[in-house]
Amino acid sequence: MDAKARNCLLQYREALERDIRTSYIMDHMISDGGLTVLEEEKVKIEPTQQQRAAMLIKIILKKDNYSYISFYNALLHEGYRELAALLHGGVPVVSSSTGKDSAGGITSYVRTVLCEGGVPQRPVVFVTRKKLVNAIQQKLFKLNGDPGWVTVYGMAGCGKSVLAAEAVRDHTLLEDCFPGGVHWVSVGKQDKSGLLMKLQNLCTRLSQDDSFSQRLPLNIEEAKDRLRILMLRKHPRSLLILDDVWDPWVLKAFDNQCQILLTTRDKSVTDSVMGSKYVVPVESGLGKEKGLEILSLFVNMKKADLPEEAHSIIRECKVVECRHWGIFADLLHKWNQPEENTCVLRLQNICDC
Ligand SMILES: Nc1ncnc2c1ncn2[C@@H]1O[C@H](COP(=O)(O)OP(=O)(O)OP(=O)(O)O)[C@@H](O)[C@H]1O
Ligand SMILES: [Mg+2]
């Protein structure tokens, strides 16, 4: 859902929760596809009118622009003109065709889910790696709703984190496999207290819209229990993404019957965890041809038009690592400037390390 629509709902949440009667509004929303019958059931089981309204708004907040519009139209139909007027400013402009149209095939639903889950954005210059992204997605589909692990592994800087983020940037995958959303955790190299802090932060994130706030878990064991309950009760069918895992003992804290996608340099980190396991290896470098292709993207030129220097840069390197792509482009820009020798030196430094 667009930020403007979302803000409107949040801003007038109190008035909406106080005044609306949910049953007829939901009938309208179901008839135009803005709400599912399952979601209606979730609202209906709430004991009071106000709680039902609160649940309906909570559900809409997790949905897309179409649900917002459907809710707005339902308010108008049911005579809540004043409330509809409050939401009018947030009504998003949407494409008249499919609702899945959007830049690069990324729908507003995908954008919202990834943004809420803390998934990093694409690098400014982005190179598609379709085969690898598909391989990760296939493994995620294979989890089929059951607990398990998909491990993306490879050398430092080979693009694992970018690939993991890219794999979940997909409407169908999110809708079919992880309707509960995704939660990105940058794990990194940790000691016990570092891990506890990561777990505490994750628990806080996952229990954010709780009306009561619990105290933070005091140790890893307690945090693990809290996480299990939160994932089971509040975030079923969601995906936990553990980025940059270094140590197998860290994974014990997450070995909780969840669905997990993780990136690591060390394939053996999942050796002692439970559940189905799938792996996707990422090669450490790219071929020279792909290297030239990438360089051409970075400097915004056709591959055939690249100057000889570009070929020298790629020839000089034994492997073309993703983390060096930006630097190569920078070198190419500066190649003919007076500090050319510095460029050669920088290039040699990169390629030797
Ligand atoms: N598909 C891509 N398109 C453009 N740039 C990329 C791509 N993949 C990686 N990069 C560049 O390479 C850098 C390193 O990528 P990334 O962080 O994904 O590597 P990693 O394998 O996760 O590294 P580490 O093992 O250190 O965690 C990124 O910050 C980005 O600049
Ligand atoms: Mg990484």
Model confidence over 315-325: pLDDT tens digits? Answer: 766 555 666 66
> Could you tell me if residue 100 is inside a domain?
no
What is the pTM assigned to this prediction?
0.68
Model confidence over 113-148: pLDDT tens digits? Answer: 898 888 988 876 677 788 899 999 999 999 988 999
Model confidence over 74-85: pLDDT tens digits? Answer: 888 788 888 988
Cβ neighbours of residue 29 under 8 Å, at least 6 residues apart? 35, 67, 70, 71, 74
> Could you tell me if residue 94 is inside a domain?
no
Model confidence over 261-302: pLDDT tens digits? Answer: 999 999 999 998 988 999 999 987 666 777 777 777 766 677
Taking residue 263's Cβ as centre, other Cβ atoms within 10 Å add up to 27
> Could you tell me if residue 96 is inside a domain?
no
User: In the chain, what percentage of residues exceed pLDDT 70?
Assistant: 81
CATH code of the domain covering residue 232: 3.40.50.300
Flag whether pLDDT at 332 surpasses 90: no
Check: CB of residue 328 under 8 Å from CB of residue 298: yes
> Could you tell me if residue 98 is inside a domain?
no
- 124 and 224 fall within a common domain: yes
65, 93, 172, 237, 293 from 161: Cα distances, Å:
29, 33, 21, 22, 21
Q: How far apart are CA 136 and CA 120, in angstroms?
A: 17
- 24 and 62 fall within a common domain: yes
Q: Which helix (H) or strand (E) holds 189?
A: none
The model's confidence at residue 342, banded by pLDDT at 50, 70 and 90, is: low
For atom 6 of ligand 1, the residue with the nearest CA is 322
- 135 and 252 fall within a common domain: yes
From the CA of 324, how far away is ligand 1's center (Å)? Answer: 9
Q: Look up the domain containing 78 and give its range.
A: 3-88
CATH code of the domain covering residue 39: 1.10.533.10
- 116 and 200 fall within a common domain: yes
Q: How far apart are CA 87 and CA 16, in angstroms?
A: 10
The pLDDT value given to residue 344: 55
> Could you tell me if residue 32 is inside a domain?
yes
Supply the angle between the helices 65-77 and 22-31 in degrees, to the nearest 10. 130
Q: Ligand 1: which atom is nearest the Cα of residue 159?
A: 18
Flag whether pLDDT at 66 surpasses 70: yes
The pLDDT value given to residue 338: 52
- 201 and 332 fall within a common domain: no
> Could you tell me if residue 93 is inside a domain?
no
- 224 and 327 fall within a common domain: no
Flag whether pLDDT at 101 surpasses 60: no
Q: Ligand 1: which atom is nearest the Cα of residue 163?
A: 18
Q: Ligand 1: which atom is nearest the Cα of residue 326?
A: 31
Q: Is the dihedral of CA 196, 198, 199, 201 positive or negative?
A: positive
From the CA of 126, how far away is ligand 1's center (Å)? Answer: 10
For atom 10 of ligand 1, the residue with the nearest CA is 322
The pLDDT value given to residue 140: 96
- 131 and 194 fall within a common domain: yes
Q: How far apart are CA 269 and CA 152, in angstroms?
A: 11
- 264 and 296 fall within a common domain: no
The pLDDT value given to residue 95: 43
Domains in the chain: how many in total?
Answer: 3
Query: Does 265 sit in the ligand 1 pocket, CB within 6 Å?
Result: yes
Flag whether pLDDT at 233 surpasses 60: yes
Q: How far apart are CA 71 and CA 82, in angstroms?
A: 14
- 139 and 220 fall within a common domain: yes
Query: Does 127 sit in the ligand 1 pocket, CB within 6 Å?
Result: yes
CATH code of the domain covering residue 304: 1.10.8.430
Instruction: Choose the final residue of a domain: 54, 88, 122.
Output: 88
- 224 and 243 fall within a common domain: yes
State which residues have CB under 5 angstroms from ligand 2, the bound ion.
Answer: 160-161, 244
Q: Ligand 1: which atom is nearest the Cα of residue 264?
A: 25
From the CA of 313, how far away is ligand 2's center (Å)? Answer: 25
Q: What is the mean pLDDT of the chain?
A: 83
Query: Does 244 sit in the ligand 1 pocket, CB within 6 Å?
Result: yes
Flag whether pLDDT at 198 surpasses 80: yes
- 181 and 231 fall within a common domain: yes
Q: Of 261, 267, 276, 260, whose CA–CA distance to 246 is shortest?
A: 267
From the CA of 273, how far away is ligand 2's center (Å)? Answer: 21
Over range 303-311, report the average pLDDT: 78
Over range 299-311, report the average pLDDT: 76
For atom 27 of ligand 1, the residue with the nearest CA is 244
Over range 185-203, report the average pLDDT: 93
The pLDDT value given to residue 285: 63
Reading across the β-sheet that carries 182-188, which strands appear in turn? Answer: 182-188, 239-245, 259-264, 148-153, 276-281
Q: Of 179, 184, 177, whose CA–CA distance to 146 is shortest?
A: 177
Query: Does 120 sit in the ligand 1 pocket, CB within 6 Å?
Result: no
Please return the burial class of 242, using the count of CB atoms within 10 Å of its CB with bins 0-12, 13-18 and 19+: buried
Eight-class DSSP state of 322: G
Tell me which residue has tokens 């409107």.
8
Query: Does 77 sit in the ligand 1 pocket, CB within 6 Å?
Result: no
The model's confidence at residue 98, banded by pLDDT at 50, 70 and 90, is: very low
The pLDDT value given to residue 210: 61
Q: How far apart are CA 292 and CA 315, in angstroms?
A: 10
**Ligand closest in space to the Cα of 323:** 1
The pLDDT value given to residue 107: 82
Query: Does 330 sit in the ligand 1 pocket, CB within 6 Å?
Result: no
Which residue(s) pair with 211 in the sheet? none
Q: How far apart are CA 149 and CA 135, in angstroms?
A: 14
* Dihedral Cα 215, 219, 223, 226, nearest 10 deg: -60
Over range 58-64, report the average pLDDT: 90
- 296 and 267 fall within a common domain: no
Instruction: Choose the final residue of a domain: 260, 281, 302.
Output: 281
Exposed e or buried b for every residue in 115-134, given b needs 16+ CB within 10 A?
ebbebeeeeeeebebeebbe
Helix (H, G, I), strand (E, B) or coil at 150: strand
**Ligand closest in space to the Cα of 241:** 2
> Could you tell me if residue 101 is inside a domain?
no
Between 26 and 302, the more confident residue is 26
Between 238 and 104, the more confident residue is 238
Q: Of 256, 262, 211, whose CA–CA distance to 230 is shortest?
A: 256
Gyration radius (Cα) of the chain, Å: 24
DSSP string, 232-301: IIISTT-EEEEEEE--HHHHHTT-SS-EEEEEES-GGGGTT--SEEEEEE--SS--HHHHHHHHHHHTT-
> Could you tell me if residue 157 is inside a domain?
yes
